[in-house]
Structure 1
Amino acid sequence: MQNISTVKKRIMLFLISMSIFLSVLDLFIVNVAIPKIRVAMHASVADIQLIIVYYVIGYGAFLITSGKVGLKYGHKKIFILSMFSFGVFSLLCGLAWDIHSLNIFRLFQGISGAFMIPQGVTLLSSIFVIEEERRRAYSIYGAIAGISSVLGQILGGILPDLDFAFGGWRLIFLINVPIAFIVGILSWGVLVEIDRKRDLKIQPLSQLVMVCLLVLLMYSLVTGADYGWTTTLLLVLVNAIICIVLFLVIQFKNYKKSINVLIDFKPFTYRTFAVALIALVFYSLVQDSYFFIYANHFQLKLDYTATQTGLLFAFQGVGYVIASFLSLKFLSKYKERFMLFGLLLMIGGLVGHYWLLSREYILFYEVALLLFEYGMGCGVVLPSMFTYALSSLPTDITSIGSSLYLTLQQLSIALGVSIVGQSYFGSIDGHFNSTVIMIVLLIMTGFVFLISYKRRLSN
């Protein structure tokens, strides 16, 4: 790997970065387009929540296993296969005939994304072996993720408004297809395979049970809140609980036999990591719920077009990108206090949202400024929390810790969309209710960091 030319390394970095670009793009592009999809597909509130929830479940549930699969069968091979798979399921999402088929394809699209990301990160670390080069490569990789989040929100607004032959909203999925296939083909000739561990044991049963329990649990929670708890949904929930028990039994048996368990709890023995993950749960319950709520509110209540909504969210994205670069400088000095500052910006932004959007006359630039402020808060908290969580872990378990962190983040996002989404659509005062819930969750996040800060001072 050390003899690769600088030009080829840059090409490799570009191809690998397309994995995070597509994964992040497809999370944010859908948020803005959901009201259009709901009308076109005659979907219920539960159905449109599942568009996000299933993608996030597929993505989060396979993050831990996907790294091991790449190690066993080859990171390059799995990267290319998952890139093609992402393209195929994006095509199927774009051609979906009803909301149920769309949600199923979204689940597999998320799974494909979960297999792309860990392979790309591992390949980057093997290509850029010099520490300074590797740090620069990761910075570019992260910047592309930030750019993708902004671009996703803009395209999620513009594309659904296009007068396309069979629905402009379909373009938000179809746009992935040529990118995924071109990147997959080029990667086959450009990327280099790294050493494999052919004797590595994978736990397919644990993974299958985990996916089943998450799908059944989230489906029952989302649809139960919307349609009511019918006998069928109660049976689905019971099956989810059975899957949880079965998963824990399998994990315990594997642990007793000294077999690699699917979820390794070793990182939780480090206090800083454990604190960060508690805060992460509260924060992630808000993270994507915010976009889900306001994408609907802007278009359904304020009669903004999808394009206007996308442009508004772009201001949030710009604020996020600017603050995320600043976070690298200030986190090491201020630690928990810096994240508390970011949370205050977010809380202030939410209070401002409710006050401004409750007025009779609303100016576009006023909304844009509030979204920019909220985005700055997100840009302070989210990257800082990830760095804070992993900073205390030894090198040999950092990869385990990062997988646990990202998995818990995605699953909390799915749960948050369900809880906050139902609070918004479930009553006349939905905007007030959802705002209060998000503010309380952010206060809880800050409370965790405040306790951590006080304990660190006392020690």
Structure 2
Amino acid sequence: MAVISLEPRRVAVAGTTQTGSACSRLGLGIILTGAFVAMMDTFIVNVAAPSIQADLQADTADTQFVIAGYTLTYAVWLITGGRLGDIYGRRRMFVVGLAGFTAASLACGLANSAGELIAARLAQGTAAAMLSPQVLAIIRTSFVDPRQRARAFGLMGAVQALASVFGQILGGAVTQADVLGLSWRPVFLINVPIGIAALLLIRRAVPESRSPRADGIDWGGTLFGVVALILLLVPLIEGRQLGWPGWLVGMLPVAVVALTVFAAVQIRRTRSGAATVLNAELLAGRAFTGGATVVLLFATTMTPLYLGYTILLQDGYGDSPLRAGLAFAPLATAVAVSSFIAGRFIRRVGARAVLTAGAVLHGIGSGAVLWVCLAAPAGLPGSLLPCMAVIGIAQGLFVTPSLNAVLDGVSEGHIGGASGILTAMQRLGNALGTAVLMLPFLAAYDQARAAGATPARGYTEAFAALCGAVMLVSLLTAALVYCVPLGRSGPGLGAASPADR
């Protein structure tokens, strides 16, 4: 892989202002470190939750919000984080986000009460939302050569896949080891030296870039949009745990109205030339809106699939959190490998073909799980490992290649805002999928138990029902990919990539 010199210079990139060197291997490693810790902390607390609850004498609701609070603030601030990168500089906002994430991780590790830990987790999620969109934006603006950019996106997919599994394994291992009598606290404190090291190196290794046309941000619109997203995400994240009370269900139509008003106001402000938080030029192109929809739809399958598999292993077959985490290793390895090599396939056959193949293969893998659970349950859970590896290959062919394909059609001046929107679509899809696709899982389990099935059999049938739903959504995604005009130009969009013209 070619490495561009670190000698400072101004790099000319259409539609953006970038000063300093192009991103080196060290720089790519630093920004991927930020992506790693942000993703890892989405999962690492899950297996440490019982120890946290016992040590801090927290109730179940507090413990759930330690997990959900991070996801909530992470999701609602992503669009703002991406827009701030366009305006004030993507490296600068990455530094702000990573510094805040490191400080919040320290606060989490030192928390003496559930309230302190929840507050620190909310701050940690907000900081993650500041740094995460910059990872996509920096890769997109720093790697001009399509091959190098595809490799960088592939590495990002591999890193995020490994982070999701490493988080569960590390959370279980550290909690069981009780290092220095600190119990669960090292799951947060491990971020501190990593963050400090990255902050010390980033200025030399990562170039600064921003949009030359950025004209400030609509702070009133930002707060209104955050409130609207909270109204949408709180029910999706907490509804299943709370049993969907009426007041929580009532938040959903209010959220739809609020988001509609938010979009209308942002469109009007864009047309009048006023400052915005969501530049409506992005939404005017079918390529971007269609691509964002594809990203959201595929994301709905991932979190419920992971959650259902974890429940099957731990509650159905009695695996420890550490053993259950290790069961994800084949999937994560497959994601990492296929993410890294997906760029080669894209250069040969085009992004649309690779994304379609990934979505179809995801449906096939989910269908295989369905068949194994219903037709050959005697070999469970070990017999599921090859199926999960197939699902991992499919996810590697779709997740980061879809982001690269959509961003490839966005002009450099809008790349931060577009990155924030796409990352938010992923988080929204995760929450929506958990709320909707877990319904057949729960219904199948209740039906099986009512018929006298053992917990293992009940959760096996439940996971089969979930994978049937995942299969249908995956095939729907493949059909939608075929219809989306990937890479075509439009308002606020860049030129089409040759593979998709």
TM range (shorter): 0.7 to 0.9
Query: Helix, strand or coil for the counterpart of 1:169?
Result: coil
Deviations 1:102-132 (A, max 9, x none): 4443332222112113334555566666666
Contact 2:367–2:468 (CA under 8 A) maintained in structure 1: no
| Aligned mate of 2:297, from 262, 270, 282 | 282
State how 1:396-407 maps to structure 2 within 5 Å: 400-407=417-424
Instruction: Give the percent of matched residue pairs that are identical in Structure 1 and Structure 2.
Output: 24
* Partner in structure 2 of residue 409 of structure 1: 426
82-91 vs 166-175, greater mean Cα deviation? 166-175
340-349 vs 7-16, greater mean Cα deviation? 7-16
* Partner in structure 2 of residue 385 of structure 1: 402
Distance 2:165 2:295 in 1: 22
Q: Aligned-pair distance for 1:303?
A: 1.5
Contact 1:60–1:407 (CA under 8 A) maintained in structure 2: yes
Say if 2:358 is the partner of 1:339: yes
State the one-letter code of the partner of 2:75: G
| Aligned mate of 2:273, from 234, 237, 258 | 258
Query: Helix, strand or coil for the counterpart of 1:83?
Result: helix
Gaps of 5+ in 2: 9-20, 448-457, 486-500
141-150 vs 62-71, greater mean Cα deviation? 141-150
* Partner in structure 1 of residue 72 of structure 2: 57
| Aligned mate of 1:447, from 476, 488, 491 | 476
Gaps of 5+ in 1: none
Contact 1:340–1:446 (CA under 8 A) maintained in structure 2: yes
Say if 2:405 is the partner of 1:376: no
Distance 1:100 1:283 in 2: 35
* The structure with more helix, counted as a fraction of residues: 1
State the one-letter code of the partner of 1:371: M
Change (3 A) 1:53 1:220: same
Q: Aligned-pair distance for 1:175?
A: 1.4
Distance 2:119 2:254 in 1: 19
Change (3 A) 1:166 1:418: farther
Change (3 A) 1:292 1:108: farther
TM-score using structure 1 length: 0.80
Distance 1:182 1:172 in 2: 18
Say if 2:36 is the partner of 1:17: no
State the one-letter code of the partner of 1:338: A
Q: Aligned residue pairs: how many?
A: 454
* Partner in structure 1 of residue 103 of structure 2: 88
Change (3 A) 1:175 1:24: same
Contact 1:153–1:313 (CA under 8 A) maintained in structure 2: no
179-188 vs 14-23, greater mean Cα deviation? 179-188
Distance 1:198 1:279 in 2: 28
| Aligned mate of 1:304, from 303, 310, 319 | 319
Contact 2:270–2:280 (CA under 8 A) maintained in structure 1: no
* Partner in structure 2 of residue 348 of structure 1: 367
Query: Helix, strand or coil for the counterpart of 2:363?
Result: helix
Query: Helix, strand or coil for the counterpart of 2:184?
Result: helix
Change (3 A) 1:377 1:270: same
State how 1:4-403 maps to structure 2 within 5 Å: 4=7, 9-33=24-48, 44=60, 50-97=65-112, 101-123=116-138, 137-164=152-179, 168-187=183-202, 193=208, 200-228=215-243, 233=248, 240=255, 243-244=258-259, 247-248=262-263, 250-255=265-270, 257-331=272-346, 333=349, 334-335=353-354, 337-351=356-370, 354-355=373-374, 359=378, 362=380, 364=382, 366-390=383-407, 400-403=417-420
